[in-house]
Amino acid sequence: MGKVKPLNQKNVGLLGTVLGSLLVGVPAIPFAASAAPSPILNPCPRIFYEEPFNTKRLAPEGCPPNSATRLLSTQASNSEELPGRDLTPNRIVPADAPTTPARVVPTPNQPGVAVRGATPGVTNSPGTAEIPAQPPLPENRANAIATVMPMDGNVNVRLKNNTNALITYEAIGYTRRRFLPAGQEVVLRNLPVPVTITTVRQDKGLVDVTPVSSQKGLLEVSLNESKNLDDNAGALRIQTDGQVFLN
């Protein structure tokens, strides 16, 4: 009968050391791989510093300024002496921002007659009636420069800034003063007629206000640079019948 040969204690110890190293090393490999840091997204993409985005889009907040950002900053600094600058919003209103109808205030002496565009918080002294704003008489105004067909008494007006300057615009009685950057356009929707729209270049330059097209309920207006003093009318007025005048 054969005898069982006893295990060599030295060989057993060596085998245990090898197996232990394998057990420790195997889970360490995926752990080291999973511990690798993930790539960090660039908060200032290079595309904002290349054309056409360099001159057409503002750089992200916190990033170095590109050409468009520097131009907007320069134009805003040039408007410090603009009359009524304290009434100008400190942000650019989105192009699709809704217009807000002005409060209608009845006149004390004429029941059923109202004044559109009255200033909130301002009241007349006792016995003084508010006088509705009247459009210029036919003999005192120039010929109409365009005609638009109102829809249910309302019109939409698209303004396109073709100058190299920031323009401030306002639909009197319906919007606050808003900014329109160079090369941008905005649509004022559902403006009740009659309505007056003012435009001012914040670099104190002149504006050529030119209606370029009109369709049912929509008037498109181009705002161009001008050296002619006659073009700086400053106010575009749309009458109840859709006739358009420069005041």
Residue 60: pLDDT band with limits 50, 70, 90: confident
Separation in Å, CA 170 to CA 7, 81, 120, 121, 187: 99, 18, 17, 20, 12
Torsion of CA 15, 17, 18, 22, to 10 degrees: 140
- What is the side-by-side strand order in the sheet with 167-171? 146-147, 243-246, 235-238, 195-201, 167-171, 178-180
Residue 55: pLDDT band with limits 50, 70, 90: confident
pTM (2 d.p.): 0.45
pLDDT, position 179: 92
Given a cut of 50, is residue 63 above it in pLDDT? yes
Q: Are strands 195-201 and 154-161 parallel, antiparallel or unpaired?
A: unpaired
The domain 92-99+140-246 having CATH identifier 2.60.40: the answer here is yes
Task: Read off the DSSP letter of residue 48.
Answer: G
Sign of the Cα pseudo-torsion (47, 50, 51, 55, in order) = positive
Are 102 and 174 a contacting pair, CB within 8 Å? Answer: yes
Residue 128: pLDDT band with limits 50, 70, 90: very low
> Any idea where the domains of the chain sit in the sequence?
46-77, 92-99+140-246
pLDDT digits (tens, 9 = 90+) for 201-236: 888 888 888 898 888 899 999 999 887 665 445 689
pLDDT, position 6: 56
Given a cut of 80, is residue 119 above it in pLDDT? no
Separation in Å, CA 197 to CA 116, 146, 176: 15, 15, 11
Identify the bridge partners of residue 222 per DSSP, sorted by sequence position.
160, 210
Nearest to 76 by CA among 196, 175, 206, 181: 181
